[in-house]
Amino acid sequence: MNIAVYPGSFDPVTNGHLDVIKRAARVFDKLIVAVLVNPSKTPMFSLEERVEMLKDATAEIENVEIDSFSGLLIEYLEKVNSKIIVKGLRMVSDFEYEFQMALINKKLNPEVETIFFMTSNKYEYLSSSIVKEVARFGGCLSDLVPDSVIEKISQKLKD
């Protein structure tokens, strides 16, 4: 069984993330979307909220599982018996960082492969950071995130 892991902070999940998830789910037997605890970031949503948003957004995709982890991705891959990392690329600037991460993961475990999915053109500008910025200034979030996420962002900004 080909098990792939798509790691990220998903704060919040965007339609660009969902595009990569849906496409990767067609390629692999099982896709684990793994929400990471990143101590260098201050997320808008808690780990539990991000996991729940992803579960809601991917409920219709049978071979997708949502999980979370902290620490090294390589250790998480070993835990779930995977040797495949899925990453989405929007722009050339993403590639530089993701290439560096792929190389260090390969050094830590030479059996691990990173597979890059190019984001669909309609999402190449989209990031969680941009979604939060648009939301903070009252902009329209439709077509950027799932409807259920719009509600959660609105509620979070009211708190």
pLDDT per position as a tens digit, 119-155: 899 998 899 999 999 999 999 999 999 999 999 999 9
Distance of alpha carbon 48 from alpha carbon 124, whole angstroms: 27
Residue 159 has pLDDT above 80, yes or no: no
Domains defined for the chain, CATH in brackets = 3-157 (3.40.50.620)
Q: What number is the average pLDDT over the span 34-54?
A: 93
Encode pLDDT of 54-94 as tens digits.
999 999 999 999 999 999 999 999 999 999 999 999 887 78
Distance of alpha carbon 158 from alpha carbon 55, whole angstroms: 23
The one catalytic residue among 17, 50, 132, 152: 17
- Give the contacts of 58 (CB within 8 A, at least 6 positions apart): 18, 21, 33, 64, 66
Write down the pLDDT at residue 38.
82
To the query of whether residue 41 is one of the catalytic residues in this protein, the response is yes
Enter the pTM of the model.
Answer: 0.94
Mean pLDDT (the chain, rounded): 94
Give me the percent of the chain exceeding a pLDDT of 70: 100
Phi, psi of 154 (to 5 degrees): -60, -45
Residue 12 has pLDDT above 90, yes or no: yes
Q: Is 23 annotated as a binding residue?
A: no
To the query of whether residue 158 is one of the catalytic residues in this protein, the response is no
Burial of 95 (0-12, 13-18, 19+ CB in 10 A): middle
pLDDT band at 43 (very low <50, low <70, confident <90, very high): very high
To the query of whether residue 106 is one of the catalytic residues in this protein, the response is no
